[in-house]
Amino acid sequence: MHLNVEEMSDIQAYHLLTQTVIPRPVAWVLTVNEEGNFNLAPFSFFTAISSNPALIMFSVGSKPSGEIKDTRRNILRSRSFVVHIAPSSLAEEMTETARTLDYGESELERIHLTTNNDWQQSLPRLSECDIALYCQLFEYQEIGANKQGLVFGEIKQAYLSDKVASKGERLVIDAAQVDPISRLGGNDYAALGKTMTIQRPV
């Protein structure tokens, strides 16, 4: 099968991307609005892009109505957010937070997870996630006719539970213990499954 992507509609290109660029990590992003209500939403167009500075990037589209999503609105106002790496055991809760809600209605009230601000930042983290990255907005761009929002975040603080992380000469994170959920196409997700260790050449 050969496909001419230039002739595809937006939704056709989306289906191609989400079913070929797999698996994708999911950024489970916590933000806060003007009234102090927390917003929590998953984004699978997400990756690490730099170590100096320590940057991650995820892209945010719009609501079906065309209005910008709450996550984007909140980050552009407060310039801070928390990215969580959700374990597969929270797949149902994570997917529930993709629901389109009215602005100011908190997803946390629907999924009954708890927050913890032991790192004393402007935002808390989810207690149930073993990895959380507190970020400040580094750069924001809009691309394409649909004005897809690209959010570049600089990681200022990281939380790693003792369950998944240990530190000797270097930091080691046990990927099997993290058991991160990853995004496939449609309604499909994957857990980590089999891993391989292969030495890189010098």
In tens, the pLDDT along 39-67 reads: 999 999 999 999 999 999 999 988 778 78
* Amino acid 107: pLDDT: 84
Q: How far is CA 31 from the centre of its chain?
A: 12
24-28, 155-159, 194-198: least confident range = 194-198
* Amino acid 152: pLDDT: 98
Can you name the residues that pair with 56 across neighbouring β-strands? Answer: 48, 153
- Class of residue 159 by CB neighbours under 10 A (exposed 0-12, middle 13-18, buried 19+): buried
Residue 12, pLDDT above cutoff 90: yes
Mean pLDDT of the chain: 93
Residue 130, pLDDT above cutoff 90: yes
Domains observed in the chain: 25-185 (2.30.110.10)
Residue 99, pLDDT above cutoff 80: yes
pLDDT tens for residues 142-170?
998 888 999 999 999 999 999 999 988 89
Average pLDDT (133-141) is 98
N residues, the chain: 202
Which phi-psi region, left, alpha or beta, contains residue 135 (left: φ > 0; alpha: ψ -120 to 50)? beta
Percentages helix, strand, coil for the chain (3-state, rounded to 5) are 20, 40, 40
pLDDT tens for residues 101-116?
777 777 888 888 999 9
% of the chain beyond a pLDDT of 90: 76
In this prediction, residue 85 has a pLDDT band, given cuts at 50, 70 and 90, of: very high
Residue 136, pLDDT above cutoff 90: yes
- Give the CB-side neighbour count of residue 152, counting CA atoms within 13 A: 11
For 185, other C-beta atoms within 10 Å of its C-beta total: 15
**Spatial contact of 124 and 134, defined as CB atoms under 8 Å apart:** no
